[in-house]
Amino acid sequence: MPRLFTAVEIPADIAFSLSLLRGGLPGARWVDPENYHVTLRFIGYIDDRTADEVATHLARVKRPAFQLQLDGLGAFGSRKPHAIFAG
């Protein structure tokens, strides 16, 4: 059962710039810059058939490019954060 979310890819040059901020957290596992994205909505665990249907419908969505400004970094999770984000 896949864990599904919708997201927008970010430009490679921005991903590279963000990747330069990695480091300094013992035990951290970093995501490769080509997998950086802006999450729009977390859907959750769904069956394969529904995931395929959602992917088919989302592939048809066309929207113009937009500007986004990053103002800082943050983290979320329990007492020990499990994700760091730029926002």
Between the CA of residue 24 and those of 40, 58, 76, what are the distances in Å? 28, 37, 17
CA distance 83 to 42: 14
Q: How far is CA 45 from CA 3, 14, 72, in A?
A: 4, 29, 30
Distance separating alpha carbons of residues 25 and 31, to the nearest angstrom:
13
pLDDT band at 7 (very low <50, low <70, confident <90, very high): very high
Check residue 69 and give its pLDDT.
87
Q: Categorize the per-residue pLDDT at 79 as very low, low, confident or very high, splitting at 50, 70 and 90.
A: confident
Residue 46 contacts residue 4 (beta carbons within 8 Å): yes
pLDDT tens for 33-77 read: 999 999 999 999 999 999 999 999 999 999 898 888 888 888 888
